Structure 1
Amino acid sequence: MPLPTVEHETHASPTWSVIWLHGLGADGNDFVPIVPELVDPSWPGVRFVFPNAPVRPVTINNGVPMRAWYDIKGIALADKQDAEGIRASIAEVDALIAQENARGVPTSHIVLAGFSQGGAMTLSAGLRHREALAGLLVLSAYLPLHDTIDAERHVANHDTPLFWGHGTADPVVPLALGQQSRERLESLGYRIDWHTYPMAHQVSLPEIHDIKAWLTARFTTA
């Protein structure tokens, strides 16, 4: 069964979906409050889907169980990566996309979004997905399993619009790690709409305004 979700529909019978993945230790309610700031009257009906990650022990937090898309084993996020957990969560994201398909929303009308660990999963799942998504929205994140992405990525999402926002003072996912990940993808030919903001590990009002404009472009150019 797909993961439990928190959902918000802007109109009855939505024709678009945004699947938004939360960060480590948060849950599906984390980004619900920004929906009113994002929605524009010009948009078609959109279903925002905020899934709850599975609860699992997290090594960096002394093994305390919490909602996490995968384990974090050390301070250096790119080292000792939990490949098994990441791949299991890729399958969970694929199931969420399939659930939206079953509800009448084609993959071409689905935006995959995420913050921090959720943003890392947006890249991991989105770039490997076998059908073209409407867009990838990555916030304060990095690219996990960067050494296998070339072999495992799927051509279907090579040209998918990709928004990436990052704080210049982020102490959790350092800006340098985000930049290295962006450069890795650019070396493979991906075009990234990259934005930085004077903030820490968070989402700011200027970033929300930029996300709104980017989503509006996705919903009106299809």
Structure 2
Amino acid sequence: MHQPRKIRYGSLDSYVIDDTDENPPSALVVLCHGYGAPGSDLVGIVEEWVYMLGESASNFRFICPIAPHSLADIGLPSGRAWWPLNMARLMEAVQAQCFEELHRETPPGLDLARSALSELINEAKQEIADQRDCPVQSIPLAIGGFSQGAMLTMDAALRGQITPPDLLIQFSGTIICQPQWTESMGRLENTQVYQSHGTVDPLLPFSSAQRLRDMLVDAGVSVEFHDFTGPHTIDGQAIVSTAVALKHLLG
């Protein structure tokens, strides 16, 4: 596999990890980082997947988009965000353990982020289809992310101008846009969802992750749910399990 290189898809600069152009990939994986992280934050996860996938890794093009908003003005020079957060309000919700309003609202900036991610996904899928001279609808697609990146990819899967993914990965995500998400759950009828969450997450409560899981299950969506004793992070088992899920995309 190549070292990560920067490529722009639509309006988003991205880190891309794949094999040589002489051996074009057959599947696309898009992994979105969380709030406050640098754009390269999840490249290490991709590198672990590549190791675990072995020879199968050459079948994938992995893309880690860089969120559009810089957080340099709040003291995070390398930090990025998919949409701005009202941190004071979030901390109030954490202290009060009251997330109902946050679960129901559409964050300002989400629509633009979803549109940008959808454009990236469609452009990247078309690129693979052109390289392989095959129909774009035949390209297996996995999307996912961590924290804010998980929320964005869930929203894109449910409301984006994309074909619903074959695999949707939710590392430490939560519910937003609950009325709209509930209404759109039917789009995931052919999607496998992998969801992981720490039981002592101090930022996005485990109970909200359970609620998201129940929303999916109640809608008939296939969900693999992994809980672990830990904070707001991605644990080793989640990386192993998602590598297995990615391999299943290849048939």
Query: For residues 30-61 of structure 1, what are the alpha-carbon distances to aligned partners after superposition, in whole Å with 9 as ceiling and x for unaligned?
Result: 01112232121242521110111111679xx7
Using the TM superposition, give the Cα deviation of residue 91 of structure 1 relative to its aligned residue in structure 2, in angstroms: 0.5
SS in 1 for 2:178: coil
1:1-222 alignment to 2 at 5 Å? 1-11=10-20, 12-39=23-50, 40-43=53-56, 44-55=58-69, 66-73=79-86, 74-75=89-90, 76=93, 79-80=101-102, 81-105=105-129, 106=136, 108-129=139-160, 130-151=162-183, 153=184, 155-219=186-250, 221=251
Scaled by the length of structure 2, the TM-score of the pair is 0.77
Task: Give the partner amino acid of 1:48.
Answer: F
Distance in 2, matches of 1:46 and 1:78, equals 38
Structure 1: stretches of 5+ with no match in the other structure = none
Higher helix share: 2
Query: For residues 127-147 of structure 1, what are the alpha-carbon distances to aligned partners after superposition, in whole Å with 9 as ceiling and x for unaligned?
Result: 224523221011000121011
Structure 2: stretches of 5+ with no match in the other structure = 1-9, 94-98, 130-135
RMSD (CA atoms): 2.7
Using the TM superposition, give the Cα deviation of residue 78 of structure 1 relative to its aligned residue in structure 2, in angstroms: 5.3
Q: Is the 8 A contact 1:23 1:115 kept in 2?
A: yes
Scaled by the length of structure 1, the TM-score of the pair is 0.86
Mean Cα deviation higher: 105-114 or 168-177: 105-114
Query: For residues 3-49 of structure 1, what are the alpha-carbon distances to aligned partners after superposition, in whole Å with 9 as ceiling and x for unaligned?
Result: 01011114541121111100001132001112232121242521110
